């Protein structure tokens, strides 16, 4: 996954996102207007939505969008503090912890 979203930065020894953050945020903002997500109850089983930190300075548009989706769609929603759109890469252990806790609560672990 990291190879498809990151590239070596020409300006430093680190990495940078392949897709311009503003462009990616725009794609997600546009997708939210399409009403692509059903409500949680339409899935026929328990559903967990884990999002990035919508209160973080400079948070991507997916943060507030996922928070709203969780509230309006009836999802069991949590967020990972201090993360952006790539929360699974930024804090993978936290993502796993929330997922495993959810599964255990529903007898699926």
pLDDT of residue 87: 92
pLDDT of residue 53: 95
Quick check: 28 and 60 in contact, CB under 8 A? yes
Is pTM beyond 0.75? Reply is no
- pLDDT string in tens for the chain (109-residue length): 667 778 888 999 888 888 887 887 787 677 767 777 889 999 999 999 999 999 988 888 888 988 999 999 999 999 999 999 889 989 999 999 999 999 999 999 7
End-to-end C-alpha distance for the chain, whole angstroms: 25
Quick check: 54 and 25 in contact, CB under 8 A? no
What contacts 38, CB < 8 A, 6 or more positions away? 73
DSSP state of 38: P
What contacts 78, CB < 8 A, 6 or more positions away? 48, 49, 50, 51, 98
């Amino acid at each position: 996954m990291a190879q498809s979203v990151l590239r070596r930065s020409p300006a430093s020894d680190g990495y940078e996102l392949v897709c311009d953050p503003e462009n990616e945020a725009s794609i997600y903002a546009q997708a939210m207007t399409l009403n692509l997500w059903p409500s949680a109850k339409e899935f026929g089983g328990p559903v967990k939505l884990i999002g990035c930190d919508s209160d973080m300075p400079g948070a991507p548009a997916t943060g507030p969008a996922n928070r709203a989706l969780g509230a309006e769609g009836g999802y069991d929603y949590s967020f990972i503090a201090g993360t952006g759109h790539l929360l699974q890469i930024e804090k993978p252990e936290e993502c796993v912890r929330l997922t495993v806790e959810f599964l255990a609560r529903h007898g699926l672990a």
